[in-house]
Amino acid sequence: MTSIKVWDPFIRIFHWSLAAGFVANALIIEDESKLHEQVGYVVMALLAARIFWGLIGPHTARFAAFWPRGASIREQITDMATHRRRAHLGHSPLGALMIFNLIATLGAIGATGYMMTTDMFWGVDWVEETHEALVNWAWFSIALHVSAVIWESRRTGVNLPRAMITGRKRIPDTLNLVK
Ligand code: HEM
Ligand code: HEM
């Protein structure tokens, strides 16, 4: 077993704060409250910081390091379908697609939320409906995200949730790494 540092503290704090902020706003906090808007803005600030970090942060955090390409996506699907045990040190190609989807969806939730607070869009039905539809899309994506994380952890033998807490991936010696 080799232990390799993959997620810096910012990524880990970002991840769990983003998840907590989303769940709090979608399930717990009264949606007509000031707190809903404030937590929503904290989530937006986290996303903005993440985008910045994706440009200047350490290697595994950079968008350029995990920008998904068609060929690598097909390879990962083949690995999954044929139970070929290979793993990625940073984000996998399919994982990366999900990450960009989640960042964009949460960003759009924030934008439509903000629009509802402006004179121009206040009380406009389609804005509220879009905000709600995007939250539903986010739930669907998160369910898929968590299922995929569990699936990939089992397939490769690398405990991915643990790595998102400790920052280190524990890679079994028998596993091949994809560059
Ligand atoms: C509830 C809402 C959640 C949201 C919005 C969310 C969002 C994200 C995002 C944006 C990333 C990319 C991290 C980055 O590079 O910045 C990510 C990665 C990750 N998330 Fe989540 N996440 C959620 C819940 C969870 C849960 C419950 C788990 C645990 C089972 C989890 C496990 C992971 C793991 C392991 C990764 C890294 C995957 C890899 O190794 O490439 N996430 N998530
Ligand atoms: C993590 C981000 C967010 C999540 C998960 C979220 C989730 C939700 C949900 C589930 C609703 C109820 C939709 C319905 O049933 O009609 C709602 C309504 C609303 N949200 Fe958000 N929201 C977020 C961010 C924001 C932001 C940033 C703002 C504004 C600054 C905002 C403003 C509102 C407003 C004004 C409503 C309508 C309340 C009403 O019924 O009058 N939201 N949001």
CATH number of the CATH domain containing 66: 1.20.950.20
Residues with CB under 6 A from ligand 2: 21-22, 25-26, 31-32, 36-37, 40-41, 43, 106, 109-110, 113-114, 116-117, 128, 131-132, 135
In a domain, 42, yes or no: yes
Look-up of token digits 């910012």 = 10
Confidence of residue 178 (pLDDT cuts 50, 70, 90): confident
Residue 146 lies in a domain: yes
Q: Is residue 179 part of a domain?
A: no
Is the pLDDT at 26 greater than 80? The verdict is: yes
In a domain, 105, yes or no: yes
3-state SS, residue 89: coil
Residue range 14-29: mean pLDDT, rounded: 98
The answer to whether the beta carbons of residues 152 and 160 sit under 8 Å apart is yes
In a domain, 106, yes or no: yes
CB 22 less than 6 A from any atom of ligand 1: yes
| Per-residue pLDDT, 138 | 98
Q: How far is the CA of 41 from the centre of ligand 2 (A)?
A: 11
130 within a domain of the structure (yes/no): yes
Kindly report the number of other CB atoms within 10 A of residue 134's CB atom: 20
Residue 60 to residues 9, 133, 147: CA-CA distances in angstroms?
Answer: 12, 32, 22
Asked if the structure places residue 175 within a domain, the reply is no
Check if the beta carbon of residue 86 is closer than 8 Å to that of residue 156: yes
Q: Where in the sequence is the domain holding 129, given as residue range(s)?
A: 2-170
pLDDT at 54 over 90: yes
Residue 179 has pLDDT above 80, yes or no: no
pLDDT of 19 > 80? The answer is: yes
Report the mean per-residue pLDDT for the chain. Answer: 96
**Number of domains into which the chain is organized:** 1
What percent of the chain has pLDDT above 70?
A: 100
Q: Tens of pLDDT along 86-142?
A: 889 999 999 999 999 999 999 999 999 999 999 999 999 999 999 999 999 999 999
Nearest atom in ligand 1 to the alpha carbon of residue 96 is 41
Spacing of C-alpha 67 from chain mean position: 14
pLDDT at residue 102, as a whole number? 98
pLDDT in tens, 156-169: 999 999 999 999 99
**Would 109 be classed as within a structural domain?**
yes
Give the distance (Å) from ligand 1 centre to CA of residue 123.
Answer: 33
Average pLDDT score over residue span 47-62: 98
